Structure 1
Amino acid sequence: MPPSPVTSHLSDSWTIPFDHSLPIRRPAAHKGQHNLAGLWWCATNQPHVGFESWGERDQLMRLDFDPDVVGVASQPFRITLLAALPQATHMPDYFVRQAEGTGVVIDARTDALVKPADEDVFGATAQLCASVGWSYERLGELKSNSGANLRWIAGYRHPRCDREEFTSAILERLNAAGSESIRELACAIGDPICVLPTVFHLIWRHQITTDLLGCPCTLRALSTRSRHDEQRQHSNAHRRSCFLPRRDLQPLRN
């Protein structure tokens, strides 16, 4: 049985690691609904994280790919808003923990769906976040090429795609060659059917870089060694496998 929500003031609870919290509610799913809800296996901290639209899923995927993100949780709290605003409460879509410890609260909604009343709610949320040193972002749609490329690479995010014998050979070859097309690299290591999943996994982990923004990622795309460390820059201190009670947050007292 899930724990009951706990109500507290943000000034008393902002140090809680919300990036490991359970959602305040589960994504709604019912016959005939227009938006598609689901769960995303997050390689960053390895829970299933909820989304309630394709737009939210794409932004969640982008956050999972970001090497500066060490934790993501969906709708970990509900904020009580001021009476003058058009709605009494707001549940931000995501709470993100960055590698340096900064908290970021995120709403994912496309520009076309944002109404003036929503802008007021987002503005109030941003002010509340700023009062405790958190950042706030409202994210829209991913660009078509970057979204398509990320969706492809994300299919290889699971550690099962990392075969150590291929990983060592791939990185050694790129260290020597400088750059090489994905096709040439895979063929040089072994059977491309076996090697390509590891190549794409290394791109996901930022050990190999290729252009994921400008054009569709194909086997002709150039790959090079990344400037990032061989491991994604995630601090083990932020990988606590704890799950905290769901929480309602209220504005700070004056």
Structure 2
Amino acid sequence: MDIQVQYRSAAGRTCRDEPAAVRGVRLEERQPLSEPRAYKGRTSILTKWTSATTGQAVWCASTVQMDAAMLLDFDPDIVCFQSRVAQVHWELEGQRGTVEPAFVARTRDGRRLVFAHPARDEAELEERVLREAADGAGWEIRPLRVPQGVLRSSLASAAHFSGPEFAADDDARRVLLEAFARPRPLQAGAAASGLGLRAPGYAWHLVWTGELTCDWTKPLLPTSPVWASQAAAAKEA
């Protein structure tokens, strides 16, 4: 099987190389090959997710993909991710096709992850193509995870406060972590911190960053108990 990866160079030019030539290339930092386009009869909704991790706009071809982007953005192990930055072109016995990963990401320890859409072909040819490309390029393939139900709605609530404008300075952060040294309602703990009107936004932001945590199996509300996480304790240490 002949396999090539299409992507943009650091200068923005479209390139096509064998998978081995892409090993170590930070595709997650490159510009998308294209933006999704609306057209008459399209059933999915075009949208984009603004990553709180990097500030990049991540194009999504559906609300399902946007929910998956939200979950990736929430993952503390992911430092950068992007969509539509790689296409895997294949040719086999006179047949040709293209497989496009949902996202390409990089972890804190430098691993490259490729998140695959659910397979569309019963013969699993797309899965085989992506696996062979990953072997050459040094990618780890991960299934696309999409938050559902309570987790989705709770993440969406916290994501409203994911932006840097809600980030507390070091002193305010320390006060809030002390206020939530034991579980207490989010709104009540924020009020008890003495940090004024911005305290609730600070607290919600700390939930998003994982320094405050909660029971994610239950709806996240202003009255939900939250508490300082082990991640926050490790950071303080």
TM-score by length of 1: 0.79
Q: Which has the higher contact order (CA 8 A, sep 6+)?
A: 1
Matching of residues 166-181 of structure 1 within 5 Å: 166-175=172-181, 178-181=182-185
Q: Number of paired residues? A: 224
2-side partners of 1:133 and 1:68: how far apart? 18
- Structure 1 counterpart of 2:223, one-letter code: R
Q: 1:195 to 1:145 in 2, by over 3 A?
A: same
Are 2:206 and 1:202 equivalent residues in the alignment? Answer: yes
Q: 1:231 to 1:87 in 2, by over 3 A?
A: farther
2-side partners of 1:68 and 1:17: how far apart? 16
Q: 1:157 to 1:132 in 2, by over 3 A?
A: same
Matching of residues 155-166 of structure 1 within 5 Å: 155-164=160-169, 166=172
Distance apart, 1:140 and its partner CA? 4.9
2-side partners of 1:70 and 1:3: how far apart? 22
- What residue ranges of structure 2 are gaps of 5+ in the alignment? 1-10
Q: 1:182 to 1:34 in 2, by over 3 A?
A: same
In the alignment, which of 100, 113, 135 is matched to residue 104 of structure 1?
A: 113
- Structure 2 counterpart of 1:97, one-letter code: R
Structure 2 match to 1:218: 221
Structure 1 match to 2:142: 137
- Once the two structures are superposed, residues 201-230 of structure 1 have per-residue CA deviations (whole angstroms, 9 ceiling, x without a partner) of 001111111122x11112232211111147
Matching of residues 27-176 of structure 1 within 5 Å: 27-30=36-39, 32-83=41-92, 88-109=97-118, 114-117=119-122, 119-164=124-169, 166-175=172-181
Distance apart, 1:154 and its partner CA? 0.7
Q: What stretches of structure 1 move > 4 A for 4+ residues in a row?
A: 84-87, 190-193, 229-232
CA root-mean-square deviation: 2.5
- What residue ranges of structure 1 are gaps of 5+ in the alignment? 233-254
Distance apart, 1:85 and its partner CA? 9.4
2-side partners of 1:229 and 1:29: how far apart? 43
Distance apart, 1:231 and its partner CA? 9.5
Tell whether the 8 Å contact from 1:86 to 1:117 is kept in structure 2 after alignment. no
Q: 1:229 to 1:81 in 2, by over 3 A?
A: farther
Distance apart, 1:75 and its partner CA? 1.4
Distance apart, 1:95 and its partner CA? 0.3
2-side partners of 1:65 and 1:194: how far apart? 22
SS at match of 2:68: helix
SS at match of 1:105: strand
Q: 1:205 to 1:141 in 2, by over 3 A?
A: closer
Task: Calculate percent identity across the aligned residue pairs.
Answer: 20
SS at match of 1:19: helix
Tell whether the 8 Å contact from 1:122 to 1:138 is kept in structure 2 after alignment. no
Distance apart, 1:105 and its partner CA? 0.6
